[in-house]
Structure 1
């Protein structure tokens, strides 16, 4: 029962409910919080974009070997960084639940799974400077006591399930963010990001949107980080589960972000796991066991890189030679909007933006 209550409170907090912030156990007054960053991301987590003071009691601070510091709202977000950049980390600190001071995380005592709400996970994890303080908290709120390494391993193990829950709950926010972005922001500045926090900092630093409040900014950041969350299935290319790419033999449905299709005049469909393979087939169908003429390959559909909507391939703009790779390596990246294609080319070292009729067989790597 306690776990169910904890999960419910976590999800309500995540979806920006109207609960008074002071009612959240993690929240402290700004004057009581220590924020270590000095740039425009000072007040939010660079992984999830959540407000650091609102979730302060679960904050972690990482100093990297190059001297750079980042602050995260939770050990969940810290685990995302720990997993990928462990060898680049110099020190990790955590907020002591009682004193609110930053302490050495490797010497802290964590109470895992108490009845207090978790941050970014239904399983709460709170740190204490001394074991006696941890035991006192445990007696009142339950849970088990662990050291940093044990707690980090628990967080790492829980990442897949926690992220699945988070992704599902972010869908409404992503859809809201898409509408806001398209109506109140400069869509030519759309690009891809490694985290929600990175997207939020980009929006702030580049003045991409006008007159957004904090919730609107978070929604747009969620959308930019994962546009597929806001994509309506009806607008995406519908690929049969058993459809194989005639060029490479891979199951196309596994790669919806890259899916492409050629429909022949007689109604036959060919599906591809990327534009590159589609164009190989388009130029030489006989090489892949089909005797179509160019005139028969009249209906071509590709997937817009950002919106993931299926679009007319003959009207699309394609970026070649970028540092973004698809399932089969280097790829022709399709866009419905020329300005987005050019911006993507600049961001990802692309060589050219071409229309469909400008694509040549010799460009297919």
Structure 2
């Protein structure tokens, strides 16, 4: 004996379509969770701002955009300059390398030293630190102040790189 198949009701069809639409929209959604810095392949990856090869891990920087792109820079000054010129690019997360350990740190929490005698890749003279004490040591050497993220961004935006 063969069982008869029940027809699909409008409710079931609507439910199925709703699930498909929800799945599609979730795939297109903004990234969630804790943002992670990108991997940089030194001596191969290029700076988004100037096209130069990224070669010095002490100065490397990156941003993650709200549309999921990773933008890599050869130094934090280049990163700030790029975003000052491209304010339409919305940043989800800012990353810089600690000058001493060369590990990624949150750019918003970093301490910045800008001095013309800091030999950064593009001459912006920006060094970044996870620890304020380490930043103060370098700042004292060059007779400059330690800056916050906002202060450093403003300084670069106003053309005060390599102060």
Q: Same fold (TM over 0.5)?
A: yes
CA shift at 1:256, angstroms? 1.9
Looking at structure 2, the residues matched to 304 and 345 of structure 1 have their Cα atoms a distance apart, in angstroms, of 15
Higher relative contact order (CA 8 A, sep 6+): 2
> Which is helix-richer, 1 or 2?
1
Residue-pair matches, total: 121
Residues 266-281 of structure 1 mapped to structure 2, 5 A cutoff: 266-281=67-82
TM-score scaled to structure 1, two decimals? 0.31
**Among residues 33, 43, 48, which one is paired with 1:246 in the alignment?**
48
Looking at structure 1, the residues matched to 92 and 124 of structure 2 have their Cα atoms a distance apart, in angstroms, of 25
Match in the other structure for 2:91: 297
CA shift at 1:298, angstroms? 2.3
Match in the other structure for 2:126: 332
Looking at structure 2, the residues matched to 336 and 272 of structure 1 have their Cα atoms a distance apart, in angstroms, of 18
Q: Is the 8 Å Cα contact of residues 95 and 107 (structure 2) preserved in structure 1?
A: yes
Looking at structure 2, the residues matched to 271 and 343 of structure 1 have their Cα atoms a distance apart, in angstroms, of 27
Match in the other structure for 2:31: none
Looking at structure 2, the residues matched to 356 and 256 of structure 1 have their Cα atoms a distance apart, in angstroms, of 19
The SS at the match of 1:325 is coil
Question: Deviation string for 1:62-104 (max 9, x for gaps)?
Answer: xxxxxxxxxxxxxxxxxxxxxxxxxxxxxxxxxxxxxxxxxxx
- Asked whether 1:308 is paired with 2:102, we answer yes
Pick closer, same or farther for the CA change 1:327–1:339 going to 2, 3 Å: same
- Asked whether 1:358 is paired with 2:151, we answer yes
**Unaligned residue ranges in structure 2 (runs of 5+):** 1-36
Looking at structure 2, the residues matched to 350 and 322 of structure 1 have their Cα atoms a distance apart, in angstroms, of 11
CA shift at 1:350, angstroms? 4.0
**Unaligned residue ranges in structure 1 (runs of 5+):** 1-235
